[in-house]
Amino acid sequence: MKLVVLWTDATVWALVACAVAYAALVLRTPNLRASWRKVFRDAPALSSAIVLALCLVVTVADSVHWRRALPPAAGTPVGAPVQYEPVTRSALDAALTELIESREVTYSRPFDYLSFTKDTVSVNGQLRRVAPRLLHGGVHLADPEHQWKADLLARGGIGLLRGLLLALAAGALLTWLLGRGRGTGFFETAGAIWRNEGEIPWRAALWTVVVVGLLAGVVTSYMGWYHVFGTDTTGNDVLYQALKSIRTAFVIGALATVATLPLAVVLGIMAGYFRGWVDEVIQYVYTVLSSVPNVLLIAACVLMVQVFLDKHPEMFETGVERADVKLFLLCTVLGLTGWASLCRLLRAETMKLRELDFVQAADAFGVSAWRIMTRHVFPNVAHLMLIVTVLDFSALILYEAVLSYVGVGVDPSMNSFGGMINLARKEMSRDPVVWWSFAAAFGFMVTVVLAANLFADGVRDAFDPRARAFRPRLMVPKKSKVA
Amino acid sequence: MLPYVIRRFLYGALILLGVNLATFFLFFTVNTPDDMARLNIGGKHVTQDLIDKWKAERGYDKPLYVNDAKQGVERYTETIFWERSISLFELRFGRADGDAAGDIGQEVARRMWVSLQLALPLFVLQVIASTGFALLLVMFRHTRLDFWGVVTCVVMLSISSFFYIIVGQLVFARMLRLAPISGYVAGWDVGKFLLLPIFLSLLARLGTEARLYRAMFLEEIGKDYVRTARAKGMAEVVVLYRHVLRNALIPIVTSAGSYLPYVFLGSLVFESFFGLPGLGAYVIEAITKQDFAIVRTMVFVGSLLYIATYVLIDVAYTWVDPRVRLS
């Protein structure tokens, strides 16, 4: 077995490491800790954080890749280099092997045991059009017409039960941990959570865990027996594609926003602090950049990247590596073209800050410009960076679909929500409609984007009090006590 | 005021020069004309003769920036950079890279009107619908209507525009047969083809805009003059429509203005989904055919429109708001 470190894998791991480092910083810094507490005081933000954390687990699991060694062919001399399979697998693939291997011939409806398309077969010498049995979906049923419903119900019920047990176990663990922290008994803590007492709305978090647990329990209990979201035109399981797409969405959302940061932060603070010709030049550069309509600029850059990749096919061993480099470069392009708005924001904020007394005082003490910018200005604009990053995250996931449609998105061989929608577009004009791939893409994408949006709103509210205007507020006095 | 306007125009021209330089670098230096030729001719048997012929047909057979074979000014004018830049600024776009493709300038001129037919009514209706919805929410602020309105907005803005298009085409065109799925005709009959794209586009952008405008209204409502108006005993409706709406329109129009370039460029996605032969669909076709000449031209046209819009908005501000003029 050979570990394959793809470009995006490395960056995903680096980002996770950065996130851990940031979390450590938050725990050490009282005012950051207070702001993040404020984020999680918001029930939608807390619930979304749980959903996003689960997606992150999928992403990280899908970011460990390897290639298995092939058994040596007959007649190879001892000591010859080991050959590896052309297929690159990830930890997620290993967990979902049954989905990968249960490949059908073509379309099939969710939970169905018959193929969607009909074949001509001869029955007793007569030619008849019948839908053949699927190769994997519901293949364990001997007499599907009678057993199918009962089997579905039984498996669903077991799945629900399993999911519920899992969720309850998670809830109990949480209650126990909370109780230990607060120094209250288990049932006392459970009661407090049920009545939604305390600062953090744990009840909402528990409901989220229960809902996610039930869904996951049901889906996993059908996995391998039926195709929960059906299969696509080449017979691949749609659920598998949707799960794989989560990583693509996360990589684009996270990597592309992070890629904007270096340029935006350095240039924005420099322009705001130095003023004069530095400011003029930086303003000129970002005005040029933002005056080209975004899609066109990205399309132009990606086309050029494509030509470059076509010219150098020898650089990549497998198709996966090539698609991955393309994704990495796409994120870089998005980062290099998208820093103008954050830069403008940071410049304006720095201009305000540099007139304040503490910066003036530091200047009077002879602190160097570099040190003022890093120690005094940067920490005071970092919250803007955070807010813009989380807000852009969901926008980029949506944007990926547009780019894939235009033809400058991720590689077609890579699973992504944009690619799924693109295929679904043709399927939806078939008659009868092939709706399941589209529905799966819709469900997963809306869940991810909605969670990202709600989380971003929570972060924005906590770090920028002026943004509260985006929130609806009921004038009914709330019962919840603020600890 | 005149010096200010002239300064704005000159700065706009300077930006356009920058755009031109950046796109030229991207299209000709990152990948040389030889690479483009090889990609465009395709196939395995690409000889240098074929490449040279391809380049000569399209006028790419000169040095990029400096022509060492010539003397004097011609050292710089007999280059691809000079010829391409001059022809762009004169709005002569030349031929497309594809073999059968025609003149880009004619295409742009023809397709611009199609894009305008879709985008102009859309732009106006968009501002009206979003402002109207936001005003409704603000009128019932701090009530359940407002709460669920904002929740709807957040859900709506989390849905990709493709879902609106695909579901909309399925429901309204295929099932209810209220409008044709896609297509285009010249003349007044085009209305029925524009109905669905306009409606779905409105829906797709409503969530984002209504929520933004609502926040803008609320910010305006917190200001002192509103309290004064209420203290005078004015009815809430009058306060809202006569005072708040007028003042909040300034930031609203500014943020809507950033959408104006697309009024001409057209919406990439909607045009190609609904088979409207506008500029947006043109760009998508060019990208799929990897026709770099069209993409390069469209980048230039797009930024030209963008810069023109912004200069016009700036100039309009100096006219509307005297404070800008004085500073």
Contact A475 B142 (CB under 8 A): yes
Q: Region A120-131: what's the mean pLDDT?
A: 79
Q: Region B275-283: what's the mean pLDDT?
A: 85
Compare A137 and B208 and report the one with higher pLDDT.
Answer: B208
| Pairwise CA distance, residues B305 & A291, whole Å | 9
A12 pLDDT band, cuts 50/70/90, is very high
Q: Which residue of B has its CA nearest to A297?
A: B299
Which residues, in sequence order, are CB contacts of B109 under 8 Å at separation 6+?
none
Q: What phi and psi, each to the nearest 5 degrees, are found at residue B50?
A: -60, -45
Q: Tell me, what's the pLDDT at A483?
A: 38
Question: Which residues of B fall within a CB distance of 8 Å from A285?
Answer: 18
- The DSSP-derived string for A56-86 is HHHHHHTT-EEEPBPPPPTTPPTTPPPPB-S
Of B30, B151, B159, the CB nearest to A446: B159
Q: Tell me, what's the pLDDT at B156?
A: 92
Q: Tell me, what's the pLDDT at A89?
A: 84
- Maximum mean pLDDT: which of A95-99, B131-135, B319-323: B131-135
pLDDT in tens, A419-451: 888 888 888 777 778 888 889 999 999 999 999
State chain A's mean pLDDT as an integer: 85
A129 pLDDT band, cuts 50/70/90, is confident
Tell me the two tokens of residue B264.
């001409």
Q: Tell me, what's the pLDDT at A453?
A: 92
Contact status of B113 with chain A (Cβ, < 8 Å): no
End-to-end Cα, chain A, rounded Å: 54
Q: Tell me, what's the pLDDT at B43?
A: 64
Question: Which residues of B fall within a CB distance of 8 Å from A428?
Answer: 166, 169-170
Lowest-pLDDT range of A288-292, A406-410, B38-42, B291-295: B38-42
E strand intervals along A152-274: none
- The DSSP-derived string for B149-169 is HHHHHHHHHTS-HHHHHHHHI
pLDDT in tens, A275-303: 889 999 999 999 888 888 888 888 888 88
Nearest to B240 by CA among B106, B95, B131, B86: B131
Contact A291 B303 (CB under 8 A): yes
Nearest-Cα distance to chain A for B282, in Å, is 11
Lowest-pLDDT range of A344-348, B18-22, B307-311: B307-311
Q: Region A18-47: what's the mean pLDDT?
A: 91
pLDDT above 70: percentage of residues in chain A: 97
Beta carbons of A108 and A114 less than 8 angstroms apart: yes
Residues 229-258 in B contacting A (C-alpha not used; CB under 8 Å): none
Nearest-Cα distance to chain B for A379, in Å, is 27
- CB-based burial label for B189 (10 Å; 0-12, 13-18, 19+): exposed
Tell me the two tokens of residue B127.
């501002």
Contact B262 A295 (CB under 8 A): no
Nearest-Cα distance to chain A for B201, in Å, is 14
Q: Region A27-54: what's the mean pLDDT?
A: 90
Residues 280-309 in B contacting A (C-alpha not used; CB under 8 Å): 283-284, 287-288, 290, 292, 295-296, 298-299, 302-303, 306-307
State chain B's mean pLDDT as an integer: 81
Strand partners, A65: A4, A90
Is a pLDDT exceeding 60 seen at residue A479? no
Q: Tell me, what's the pLDDT at A476?
A: 52
Q: Tell me, what's the pLDDT at B323?
A: 67
| Pairwise CA distance, residues B137 & B145, whole Å | 7
Question: Which residues of B fall within a CB distance of 8 Å from A470?
Answer: 150, 211, 214-215
Question: Which residues of B fall within a CB distance of 8 Å from A288?
Answer: 15, 18-19, 22
pLDDT in tens, B94-110: 777 666 667 888 888 88
Q: Which residue of B has its CA nearest to A301?
A: B26
- Using alpha carbons, list the distances in angstroms from residue B178 to A218, B168, B192: 39, 11, 9
Q: Tell me, what's the pLDDT at A480?
A: 47
Question: Which residues of A fall within a CB distance of 8 Å from B147?
Answer: 472-474
Residue owning tokens 């005071």: A380
Q: What phi and psi, each to the nearest 5 degrees, are found at residue A127?
A: -85, 125
Of A291, A398, A438, the CB nearest to B166: A438
Q: Tell me, what's the pLDDT at A252?
A: 92
Is a pLDDT exceeding 80 seen at residue A382? yes
Q: Tell me, what's the pLDDT at A46?
A: 92
Which residues, in sequence order, are CB contacts of A462 under 8 Å at separation 6+?
A35, A36, A38, A39, A42
pLDDT in tens, B210-250: 998 998 888 888 889 999 998 999 888 888 888 888 888 87
Q: What phi and psi, each to the nearest 5 degrees, are found at residue A30?
A: -60, -40
Question: Which residues of A fall within a CB distance of 8 Å from B314?
Answer: none
The three-state DSSP-derived secondary structure of A188-223 is: HHHHHHHCCCCCCCHHHHHHHHHHHHHHHHHHHHHE
Give me the long-range contacts of A204-211 (CB less than 8 A, separation at least 24). A204/A43, A204/A44, A204/A46, A204/A47, A205/A46, A205/A47, A205/A50, A205/A174, A206/A171, A206/A174, A207/A47, A208/A46, A208/A47, A208/A50, A208/A51, A209/A50, A209/A167, A209/A170, A209/A171, A209/A174, A210/A164, A210/A167, A210/A168, A210/A171
Q: Tell me, what's the pLDDT at A55?
A: 92
pLDDT above 70: percentage of residues in chain B: 91
Question: Which residues of A fall within a CB distance of 8 Å from B262?
Answer: 293
Q: Tell me, what's the pLDDT at B265?
A: 64
Q: What is the DSSP code (8-state) at residue A131? A: P
Lowest-pLDDT range of A121-125, A160-164, A294-298, A347-351: A121-125
Residue owning tokens 């690619």: A419
pLDDT in tens, A208-224: 999 999 999 888 888 87
Is a pLDDT exceeding 50 seen at residue B166? yes
Burial A41-76 (b: 16+ CB within 10 A, else e): bbbbbbbbbbbbebbbebbbbbbbbbbeeeeeeeee
Is a pLDDT exceeding 50 seen at residue A145? yes
Which pTM was predicted? 0.88
ipTM metric: 0.85
Q: Tell me, what's the pLDDT at A448?
A: 93
pLDDT in tens, A231-282: 888 888 888 889 989 999 999 999 999 999 999 999 999 999 988 899 999 9
pLDDT above 90: percentage of residues in chain A: 27
